[in-house]
Structures are given as structure tokens and as C-alpha cells.
Amino acid sequence: MFAVAIDGPAGAGKSTIARKVAADLSIIYVDTGAMYRAIGAYALKKGLDPHSREQVTPLLPEIRLELNHSPEEGQRIFLNGQDVSEQIRLPEMSMAASAVSAIPEVRAFLLEQQRSLARRQSVIMDGRDIGTVVLPQAEVKIFLTAAAEERARRRWKEYQEKGLPDSYEAILADVIQRDEQDKNRPIAPLRQAEDAVLLDTTGLNFAQSVEKVKEIIRERVADVL
């Protein structure tokens, strides 16, 4: 049993790469970003400010999150019994997720859930502070990044495929703002763990990025096929 922690800025491809690697290696993928997005979505649904500690913290006792996995659909996230997997991927949910993730009570609420998953089986988990805070003893730590312009281009292409109207310029501005917010937040800021491998995927396609991650895992976990 082993844990893989992948950290990095927004739009670096952490989730899509981790999901594919997990499938290839037959281990569980845990999308921590989806968990924060779900809480941010719940706050917005209630008409509250996701930046407000005073408004968000009282919501936590009424939030129940479930992660379900299936070979056909991959990971689905349920918020109080409702599948919100598509809803939380809307553009406005990115900033809401970053906002609630800066609230100490939200991080504490999710921390034990995330660690519990890693204690029960081999996992690959991605986020902003997996290697530094959530799973500091992970056997494999990777800091996955790419140039802001490349991350914005990838996200713009993804939105185009979904029929979302955001312009490249707006997405790039959002990526840069999100980077600043994540790096400068007082609680668990985005940073590379000292023992993490830096992987810059600028110029790499999806398949090449997946192979690079699997190479790093194989180098550090002897019994991974």
C-alpha cells in the first residue's frame, strides 16, 4: 500500500492526469479539489460569501460528502445525496473552491476524511497541500506545474468543448489571480514540498504527462508494475 501526493497550481492538469494514472495502476483517485468545490458550491447555493469564515463555518455540520467510483463514470461526488460532479466544474466554482479552502474550519473538516481514505488503500491524491499537510508521509510526492499561459490555453479548450463562453483572456486572468490567492493564503499556502519531484508539463501532451508521472511513481515504489 502506498500514497501518491500531487500538488500544483490551478489548471496544471493534476486531476485529469491523476485520474488516468490511478486507472492505469488500479489504485484509488481522490480529487480533493472536488471536495472544496462542493463546499464552495453549497455556500453559493445558500447565497453566502465563500470568503467569509463566519458565514461558511456554520454550514459544515449540515454538509455530507461522498466520493463514489465506477469503471464507467470514474469519480462522482455527492453533496448531501445529490450528484454535483458537473455543477462544481462551472467556471465560478474555481474561485469559490479557493476561497473556502483558506478557511481553517473547512480544511480541518476535510483533512481527516482525506487521511482516512489513504489509510485504507493505495491512493493518488491531488490538491494544493497534499504533500505538505494532508499526506506529509506519502511515498511519492510530485509538484505538477505548467506556464500560466499554457494552463489557461488548456482550460479555454476544455471550456470550448463544453460550450462555455469564457474568453482565453478572462481565463488567463483567472488563472493568475488564483495562483496569487493560493500562494499567499495564510492557511496551507501552495508550495512545493522539499522532497517532491518538480514536473513541468509545458510542452508535454496528456499522454506524455501521464507517462512521466508513472515513471516517477515506479522509481519510488518498487512493487508498482
pLDDT in tens, 24-52: 998 889 888 889 999 999 999 999 999 99
Q: For position 225, what pLDDT does the model report?
A: 54
CATH number of the domain bearing residue 125? 3.40.50.300
Residue 171 lies in a domain: yes
Cβ pair 216, 140 in contact under 8 A:
yes
Residue 203 lies in a domain: yes
The total number of structural domains that make up the chain: 1
Q: For position 186, what pLDDT does the model report?
A: 82
Residue 25 lies in a domain: yes
Cα–Cα separations (whole angstroms), residue 202 to 144, 146, 153: 10, 5, 11
Distance separating alpha carbons of residues 100 and 50, to the nearest angstrom? 5
Residue 213 lies in a domain: yes
pLDDT digits over 147-170, tens only?
999 999 998 988 888 888 788 999
State which residues form the domain around 161.
Answer: 3-219
Q: For position 105, what pLDDT does the model report?
A: 95
- Can you list the residues of the chain whose pLDDT is less than 50? none
Distance separating alpha carbons of residues 109 and 187, to the nearest angstrom? 14
Cα–Cα separations (whole angstroms), residue 147 to 72, 73, 171, 179, 193: 32, 30, 13, 11, 19
Q: What is the pTM of this model?
A: 0.77
Residue 188 lies in a domain: yes
Where does 70-186 have alpha helices with state H? 92-101, 104-120, 148-161, 168-184
Residue 225 lies in a domain: no
The position carrying cell 508521472 is: 213
Q: For position 178, what pLDDT does the model report?
A: 87
Residue 194 lies in a domain: yes
DSSP percent split of the chain into helix, strand, coil, nearest 5: 50, 15, 30
Q: For position 162, what pLDDT does the model report?
A: 83
